[in-house]
Structure 1
Amino acid sequence: MNLGVAFHPGTSGNAVDRAVALGRQAAQAGIRSAWLGQLFDYDAIALAGTIAREVPDLTVGTSAVPIFGRHPLPVSSQAQTSQAAAHGRFRLGLALGTRHLTEGAFGLPFERPVARLREFLTALRPLLETGEADFHGELLTATTPYTAAVAGAEPPVPVLVAAMGPKALDVTGELADGTLPFLAGPRTLGEEIVPRLTAAAERAGRPAPHVVAAVLGVVTDDADAAREAAVEATALYDRIPSYQRVIEREGHTRAADLVVAGDEEHMAKALRSYFDAGATEVFVTKADLTGEDDRLRTWRFLGELATAQPPTSA
């Protein structure tokens, strides 16, 4: 199993030092990848590259950087710099973001998100692959009067998109390397996301896409406490239409109902269901729902599963 974890360095002490320490802890447990979200505190792309530089056994990625309020040129520079720091072990995860955060924080209208995604990816791909772009779209322009290539950023940075809606999946399959669905359970993966994404990639003549599923989960003896903690941790997603749709498809009414909480056998069975549905990689997030002891227990178990068989390409 290709297994990873997502974590946040916290709000006390030094965020970078803490993130590197968590990265080392994950690698020592046998975990193969670490993922960082993007809010308004640390820069996830820069922090991922720093972790990879310090922890050479770990692949790193962002899950995910919203495209509203950002431009392909600086994002390419950031991503290539982290790829060089990581010596090829960095993956760029992008997202559409939400209307609430986009309009509230940036003062930007959350309009035509799928069209913006298409233009963003169309401009970004040549920047990452050749260091050049000459794109003039309806929503953005990206040209390179000087080279945008970063020496040592090899191979070209893989791009994943946190896409779940049909139109966003079509664009992702056509222009990106894969997807990063969160709160999309096995049913949604197997019946909707994987078939739609794969069909779009085939139409575009692209390789089979990666499907990196983010799973809310913790190995614990107190599943009830984990579910209660998950209610607060995921309340935002209950108000976002795209997440509401996949939650309902899984037969639930709120995001917290999708938490995987139980013993090691329960976790292993749940993870296997995601791979059986077509995920090529899974990472577990919010493993600290019931405290540090359970987070460590979860990470140790994920490491055991990950090292039980040789890794596949990611």
Structure 2
Amino acid sequence: MRIGIGIGITGGESLGDVIRHIQRAEENGFDSVWLPNIFGLDAITTVALAGRETSRIELGTFVVPTYPRHPVAMAQQALTASAAAGGRFCLGIGLSHRVVIEGMFGLDYSKPLRHMREYLSVLVPLVEGRAVQFRGEEFRVQAQLTVAGAPRPQVVVAALGPQMLKLAGRLADGTATWMGGLAYLRDTAIPSIRAAAEAAGRPAPRVVSGFPVAVTADKERARESAAKIFAVYGTLPSYRAVLDVEGAAGPADVAILGSEAEVTAQLRALAAAGVTDFNASPFPVEGDPGAVGRTIEFLAGLRRNGEVEA
């Protein structure tokens, strides 16, 4: 299992600070960095710039909402970022949420599965360098892109429910999950997307799973901090559904917390379940000012020593 780190999940950092975090992640030996696209920096632009300032680490988005960007525009951005990063870019996309797409952007969120199916039908051929002639209910596209020096980026979809997981298995390179714990991943998400990919004759999918993480001696305090910091995710229907599948009361119940040995055991369980890429989001623990730095240092050590394998 590859070990990566999420940067900017809480927002508020400058472009220069985020790029420096990415450079440090590369220096620390992480396999990948993953940037959210919420209401701050544009994630694709940021990783494209970071691609010019790094040489090895994979740079991914986790994730860019599809509705505000036409799939041709998304493909053009993704190919440009891939060129900037020398082929080290992974495009993570997702639907976002009704409260954002309808409530904030004023767009129609009534048929999310159809939207993503049509979106991928346009996006994937374009990033593969193929011409597209597509006529659907939402998109009617005739287009082709030529971006010199742009290797094909992988495309992973934030898929949580069973139908979206099957769609991602058939049409994309994998999935990006958040707030799905071990039981959900092992028993629901991974078997579903693997079966869909196999039925479609596609390679085994990537499973990029994001978790709040804290290496700390005070698990109860860490749990309380996680409950506060990530509270909003327990109120959004798509995340609430996977938390319910997991039997979790809230985001704190799926956070990875505890001593070095406890965190290592939890990561090994995820690897055994079939998670291919771990996306760690270290978070501050009230009363433990060294928690974030300690967590980053420990995870970097696990990666360098190869102590978490599938």
Q: Give yes or no for TM over 0.5.
A: yes
Say if 1:185 and 1:288 are closer, same or farther in 2 by CA, change over 3 A.
same
Equivalent pairs counted in the alignment come to 308
1:190 aligns with 2:191: no
Q: Does 206-215 or 222-231 show the bigger shift?
A: 222-231
- Taking structure 2 as the reference length, the TM-score comes to 0.94
- Report the counterpart of residue 300 of structure 1 in structure 2: 297
Structure 2 residue ranges without an equivalent (≥5):
none
Question: Over residues 194-213 of structure 1, what are the superposed CA-to-partner deviations in whole Å (9 max), with x where a residue is unaligned?
Answer: 11101111111111111111
Aligned equivalent of 1:23: 22
After TM superposition, give the deviation of residue 75 of structure 1 in Å.
0.5
Question: Which residue does 1:259 correspond to in 2?
Answer: 255
Q: Give the Cα separation in 1 of the matches to 2:266 and 2:79.
A: 35
Q: CA deviation at 1:157?
A: 0.8
The question of whether the paired residues in 2 share the 8 Å contact of 1:4 and 1:32 is answered with: yes
* Residue 311 (structure 1) shift: 10
Aligned CA distance change for structure 1 residues 3 and 72 (closer, same or farther; 3 Å): same
Which of 277, 282, 291 is matched with 2:278 structurally?
282
Q: Which moved more, 1:113-122 or 1:252-261?
A: 252-261
- Residue 208 of structure 1 is matched in structure 2 by 204
Superposed CA offset, 1:231-269 (max 9, x none): 222222212222222212222211222111212111111
Cα separation, 2, equivalents of 1:176 and 1:150:
21
Amino acid at match of 1:297: R
Q: Deviation per CA, 1:18-63, whole angstroms, max 9, x where unpaired?
A: 0111012212222111000011221101111222221212111000
Cα distance in 2, alignment partners of residues 221 and 188 from structure 1:
27
Secondary structure of 1:105's partner?
Answer: coil
Any idea what the Cα deviations from partners look like across 1:136-181, whole Å, max 9, x if unmatched?
110112222xx41211111x11000110101101110000000011
Q: CA deviation at 1:289?
A: 4.6
More off after superposition, 81-90 vs 27-36: 27-36
Partner of 1:167: 163
Q: Is the 8 A contact 1:183 1:258 kept in 2?
A: yes
Q: CA RMSD in A?
A: 2.0
For 1:6, the equivalent position in structure 2 comes to 6
- Determine the C-alpha separation between the residues in 2 that align with 1:289 and 1:73: 42
The normalised TM-score by structure 1 is 0.93
Q: How does 1:98-113 map to 2 (within 5 A)?
A: 98-113=97-112
List runs of 5+ in structure 1 lacking aligned partners.
none
SS state at 2:202 partner: coil
Tell me, in whole angstroms, the C-alpha distance in 2 between the residues paired with 1:216 and 1:136: 41
1:199-278 superposed matches below 5 A? 199-278=195-274
Matched residues in 2 for 1:210 and 1:250: separation?
Answer: 21
Distance 1:109 1:23, change over 3 A: same
Does the Cα contact within 8 Å between 2:60 and 2:92 map onto a contact in 1? Answer: yes
Confirm or deny that 1:61 pairs with 2:57. no
2: distance between equivalents of 1:132 and 1:297? 48
* Structure 1 letter corresponding to 2:31: R
Q: 1:128·1:149 contact (CA, 8 Å) conserved in 2?
A: no
> What are the Cα deviations for residues 86-142 of structure 1, in whole angstroms up to 9, with x where unaligned?
101000001111010111221012111011000000100111011532211101122
